Amino acid sequence: MPDVFVGYGRTLATADDKIIYRSDIPADIAGQIIKESLGIPEVVWIHVINESVALSNDPDPDMTHYRYSDFSCGCGYSYLKILINTGNPELELRLRMPFMK
């Protein structure tokens, strides 16, 4: 029986350390989402995750599993998850709408 892992909000699945499913946000779209979000004062923080990195612009010292980033680099990576906290579900939906299929 294979050793199976399903994680990152069901966006990645592996069996015996081989990727059998991966649904990521492409780097160009991730960059657009992050850039747009950084320009909105209501955005409290942004977290991004892929298999090799977890980044956040939240300076909370208790966020030990995230590496701090101000996202000014543009980064150029695809991500399995992008989490944006605004405290306003309508604004979060408006941010997502242009990128939804």
CB count within 10 Å of CB 56 equals 19
CA distance 1 to 24: 27
pTM (global) more than 0.75: yes
Q: Which CB contacts under 8 angstroms, 24+ apart, belong to 9-17? A: 9/80, 9/81, 11/80, 11/81, 12/51, 12/80
H helices within 3-88, ranges in order?
Answer: 27-38
Q: What is the pLDDT of residues 11-59, one digit of tens each?
A: 899 999 899 999 999 999 999 999 999 999 999 999 999 888 899 999 8
**pLDDT per position as a tens digit, 46-93:** 999 988 889 999 988 888 889 999 998 766 889 999 999 998 989 988
